[in-house]
Amino acid sequence: MATYVLAIGSNLGNREQILEKARDLIHRKVGRLEKVSSIFETAPWGNENQPAFLNQVLSGQTSYAPKEFLRILLQIEQRLGRVREEKWTPRLIDIDILYYEQLIVHEDDLHIPHPHLQDRKFVLEPLAEILPDYIHPVSGKTSLQLLAEVQDKLPVAKYKPLGKLSLTK
């Protein structure tokens, strides 16, 4: 079994429900979830002219090799309505492989660790929440160290769904 770490995000439709469906499909199709971060609401990165995202980081175990793992994740995205047209546009679901063990892969269709994870506060906040001491295999830095050094200043906040707020005193 191999340890995987994923980032999932949505900024269209019922974002909470889509993340829930993604978590369920990932758990059932690629391997048991072991750690799940809080959900964070974040400003869009790369193209700021779109709705805010809900983002989350997941960690678990899989028996699939990296290429097959990616293939199944892409199928999950497609099943949940993801249409890939261009980078950094609004989307129902986005699933990114952050880490797969301590593997380093640079291929046309697969990059592990994710090449931009150290640049994105919206990934580092939830990553540091569930795996604060995880070592980036290229930089040798922990999730907490990467978060402390990130230059990204876009807002990232724990998500509080409106339906769960209490209006009583």
82 noted as active-site residue: yes
Query: Which residues have a Cβ under 8 Å from the Cβ of 34 and sit 6 or more positions away?
Result: 59, 60, 61
Question: What spatial distance separates the first Cα and last Cα of the chain, rounded to whole Å?
Answer: 49
Q: Catalytic: which of 94, 108, 119, 152?
A: 94
Q: How far apart are CA 61 and CA 40, in angstroms?
A: 23
Q: Catalytic: which of 24, 32, 79, 91?
A: 91
- Measured over the CA atoms of residue 75, residue 77, residue 79 and residue 84, the dihedral's sign is negative
108 noted as active-site residue: no
Q: Catalytic: which of 23, 24, 96, 119?
A: 96
- Say if residue 113 is preceded by a cis peptide, omega within 30 of 0: yes
91 noted as active-site residue: yes
| Residue 60: strand pairing partners | 4, 33
119 noted as active-site residue: no
Q: Catalytic: which of 82, 109, 119, 133?
A: 82
Catalytic residues: 82, 91, 94, 96
